[in-house]
Amino acid sequence: MNRRQNYRSVVASLIAFSLLVFSGNLVYAADINKLVKVCADCHGENGNSKIINSPSIAGMSTEYFMESMQDYAKNTRPVEKLKNKKKTMKDVVKKLSDADKVALAEYYGKQKFKPFKQDFDAGKAKAGKKVHRKYCDKCHTDGGASADDDAGILAGQPSGYLKYTLGNYASGKREMGEKMAKKFKKMKKKEGDAAIDNLVHYYASQQ
């Protein structure tokens, strides 16, 4: 079983468990507002960020949400300490039960994603579009705007978050799957270091 299949198995098991024990979403009615309030401090109302270094999580697929939670819990995904924030994602995830994670995944999956309003370089965005089509589009379809790929929404995310995330992949601080690693290596060899910067501007330009 590969990493992606394992995550799917975990997600399916957690959702099935929560439905079996708690008889659906009704159990979350009293607690979901408290959970969402904690998340809103960094990710904004309904999961749409207002902070340049914090991602929007509205519209995120359940699978990708749960995969992210697993990565934070296992300490395999880097976290950025935001200014004026006392907690990081790792601190938050430690206090979430499996049922909490499922409830949040379901909640944010139903919210509408709203692109972050920000400045970008049109020339770099144009170059980034070509890079995306050549190396990224098979897994991040619709210009990186689709949640159905279970690979996370890239289009319209805050540029600070995009730069941090792509930088972690490039430096090896964040793990990549075999397919992504091959594409990333090829991209860096063919396009150089500018490729990541161009991708950031391309995704930021989709407002």
Rg for the chain, CA atoms, rounded:
17
pLDDT at 186 over 80: yes
Same domain, 98 and 184: no
Give the pTM. Answer: 0.85
Q: What is the CATH number of the domain that holds 179?
A: 1.10.760.10
Give the whole-angstrom CA distance, residue 108 versus residue 186. Answer: 34
Q: Indicate whether 116 belongs to any domain.
A: no
Looking at the chain, how many residues does it have?
207
Tokens of 177: 């799957």
Report how many domains make up the chain.
Answer: 2
Question: Which residue blocks in the chain are alpha helix, DSSP H?
Answer: 3-22, 32-43, 62-73, 89-94, 98-109, 122-135, 141-144, 159-171, 178-191, 194-205
- Over residues 82-93, the mean pLDDT reads 89
Tell which of 52, 78, 109 closes a domain: 109
Domain of residue 42: give its range: 3-109
Same domain, 104 and 185: no
Over residues 10-49, the pLDDT tens digits come to 555 454 444 444 444 444 444 888 899 999 999 999 999 9
Tell which of 80, 109, 138 closes a domain: 109
